[in-house]
Structures are given as structure tokens and as C-alpha cells.
Amino acid sequence: MSDLTILALSGSLRKASLNTRLLTAAQNVAPPELSFDRFQDLAAIPPFNEDEEHPAPAAVTDLRQRIHAADGVLIATPEYNGSLPGVLKNALDWLSRPSDFGDVLNRKPVAIIGASTSPIGTIRAQLNLRVVLHKMNAAVLGQPEFLLSLAHQHLTDSDALPEQATAILSNVLNGLSDLIRHQHAVAALIAEAN
């Protein structure tokens, strides 16, 4: 039974993206209380320009609204030149700006995963993404960390991950579920105290 919604975002625009496939693998091992809302319109988010913030582009408003409505966020990031892709950073820059939905990532539970074709996974991209999300005051899951190296060898047509990777990915999803419940409980206590 699903009672928590996760906005799932891939940082790749590629049709055959390994990170988009990784989100499918994550959805397959998620605990039953999590339902996934897959955002697939990253390519429609224009380059951020302070001169053109208002009115916000439709794709930005859609992403803001869906993150606002979600209980948590799962980001699968590729690594480009030792960092997160520009399109993902660009979307986060949009999200960092005030809107009708408030600061949608403020205190929002977020988990990061990543797949790359290299042997060292997405360590640097994930670290850089953490720095950006920290600045935006998101509640980023610290442990476990999940990165899939040589992902093209694993995310094939069957999308079957090695057993150990599946177990860690499942732990990430359970960790995100716990973090969401913790945040909800704290919010309820604060509301009660007021």
C-alpha cells in the first residue's frame, strides 16, 4: 500500500540513459509504501535567467508543484567531467528561487544515486550534488551511498543489478522512507506545540 510519494528525477536527457534506467531499478526494489512520480521533462527547463524568472516556464512550475506535493525526492545523477550535469544544476538553480510553492527543497528528504560507465562511479558528481542540495537546505540522506560503476555492463535490457547492488539500492529506498517519516513526525510535533 503506497502512502508516500517520491518525485524521481534523472539528471540525464539521453533516451537510453543508464541513470533513468537506474530509477526503474530503484522503483522495482522500493518498499510498498513508496509510489514513484517520474519527472521526464528536464529537457524543457530553459537555462536559468534572472531576467526571465516571472512568469516561470511551465516545466519549472510543473517540477516545483510536483516536488511540493511529493514527500521526498530521489535523484539519479550522471557524472560529467567530475561533477553533476549542467542540466541538473540548472534545474536546481530554478528550484532554489522563491515561488508560489515556497522553497520546494527546503527540508525536503532527498536521496541521491548515480550510474556511470567508468570504474569509479559517480562519486564526484554525488559529492558536488550534495553541496548544492545542502546550500538549498534539503534533508539529504547520508547513508547508505549508492553508486553503480561500469553501469553499462549491469543495466542491460534485463536491468538486473548485481545482488549486492540491489541490496544497497533497496536500503537507500528504505532509508529515504524512514527519513520522510522522521520529518513528518517532527513537523507534526512542531504543529502540535504551536
Ligand X SMILES: Cc1cc2nc3c(=O)[nH]c(=O)nc-3n(C[C@H](O)[C@H](O)[C@H](O)COP(=O)(O)O)c2cc1C
* Residues in contact with ligand X by the rule CB under 6 A: 12, 14, 17-19, 78-82, 116-118
Q: Give whichever of 66 and 154 is closer to ligand X, judged by the CB atom.
A: 154
In degrees rounded to 5, what are phi and psi of residue 163?
-55, -45
Q: Give whichever of 139 and 155 is closer to ligand X, judged by the CB atom.
A: 155
Nearest to 95 by CA among 123, 130, 57, 126: 57
Residue 184, amino acid: H
Work out how close the CB of 114 gets to ligand X at its nearest, in angstroms, rounded to a whole number. 8
Q: Give whichever of 2 and 156 is closer to ligand X, judged by the CB atom.
A: 156
Work out how close the CB of 84 gets to ligand X at its nearest, in angstroms, rounded to a whole number. 10
Nearest to 76 by CA among 153, 14, 2, 137: 14
Asked if residue 160 lies in contact with residue 154, where contact means CB atoms within 8 angstroms, the answer is yes
Q: Name beta bridge partners: 6.
A: 36, 72
Element (H, E) at 37: strand 34-39
Work out how close the CB of 127 gets to ligand X at its nearest, in angstroms, rounded to a whole number. 12
Q: In angstroms, rounded to a whole number, what is the distance separating the alpha carbons of residues 39 and 49?
A: 22
Asked if residue 173 lies in contact with residue 29, where contact means CB atoms within 8 angstroms, the answer is yes
Q: Give whichever of 56 and 73 is closer to ligand X, judged by the CB atom.
A: 73
Q: Which three cell numbers stand for residue 51?
A: 531576467
Q: Give whichever of 82 and 142 is closer to ligand X, judged by the CB atom.
A: 82
Work out how close the CB of 83 gets to ligand X at its nearest, in angstroms, rounded to a whole number. 7
Work out how close the CB of 86 gets to ligand X at its nearest, in angstroms, rounded to a whole number. 10
Q: Give whichever of 58 and 120 is closer to ligand X, judged by the CB atom.
A: 120
Work out how close the CB of 165 gets to ligand X at its nearest, in angstroms, rounded to a whole number. 16
Q: Which three cell numbers stand for residue 36?
A: 514513484
